[in-house]
Amino acid sequence: MQKFVDLLIIIPARKGSKGLINKNIKLLKKHPLISYSIEAAKRIKVINKIIHLSTDSIKILKISKKYYDFDNILRPKNISKNNSIDLDFLNHTLKLYNKKKIYFKNCLILRPTNPIRRIDTLNKVYNKFLISNADSLKSIYKTEKTPFKMWTLNKEQLLKNVCKLNNDEFFNYPRQILPLVFYQTGTIEIIKINFKKKLKNFSGNKIMGTILSKEESIDIDKSQDLLDADKILKNKKNYIFPKHK
Residue 18 in this model has a pLDDT that exceeds 80:
no
- For the chain, give the percent of residues with pLDDT over 70: 98
What single-letter amino acid sits at 98?
Answer: N
What single-letter amino acid sits at 97?
Answer: Y
pLDDT for residue 172: 85
| Alpha carbon distance 86, 36 (integer Å) | 20
- Of 106, 128, 135, 127, the C-alpha closest to 205 is 135
- Of 109, 130, 101, the C-alpha closest to 197 is 101
Residue 61 in this model has a pLDDT that exceeds 90:
yes
pTM: 0.92
pLDDT for residue 245: 83
pLDDT for residue 33: 97
DSSP-derived 3-state class of residue 32: strand
Question: In which element (H, E) is residue 238 found?
Answer: none
- Average pLDDT value for residue range 47-73: 95
- Average pLDDT value for residue range 85-104: 96
- Of 32, 43, 34, the C-alpha closest to 11 is 34
What single-letter amino acid sits at 99?
Answer: K
pLDDT for residue 6: 98
pLDDT for residue 171: 81
pLDDT in tens, 84-93: 999 999 999 9
Residue 109 in this model has a pLDDT that exceeds 70:
yes
Residue 243 in this model has a pLDDT that exceeds 80:
yes
Contact 7, 47 (CB under 8 A): no
| Alpha carbon distance 171, 150 (integer Å) | 8
Across the chain, what does the average pLDDT equal?
93
pLDDT for residue 167: 67
Q: At 236, is the pLDDT very low, low, confident or very high (cuts 50, 70, 90)?
A: confident
pLDDT in tens, 183-212: 999 999 999 999 999 999 999 999 999 999
- Average pLDDT value for residue range 21-29: 94
Q: Are strands 159-161 and 49-54 parallel, antiparallel or unpaired?
A: unpaired
Contacting residues for 168 by C-beta, under 8 A, at least 6 apart: none
Residue 218 in this model has a pLDDT that exceeds 80:
yes
DSSP class of residue 76? Answer: P
Instruction: Give the dihedral sign, CA 19/22/24/30.
Output: negative
Q: At 164, is the pLDDT very low, low, confident or very high (cuts 50, 70, 90)?
A: confident
pLDDT in tens, 121-156: 999 999 999 999 999 999 999 998 888 889 999 999
Q: At 55, is the pLDDT very low, low, confident or very high (cuts 50, 70, 90)?
A: very high
> Domains of the chain (ranges plus CATH)?
3-141+184-234 (3.90.550.10), 144-180 (no CATH)
pLDDT in tens, 35-45: 999 999 999 99
| Alpha carbon distance 17, 15 (integer Å) | 6
Instruction: Give the dihedral sign, CA 192/122/81/58.
Output: negative
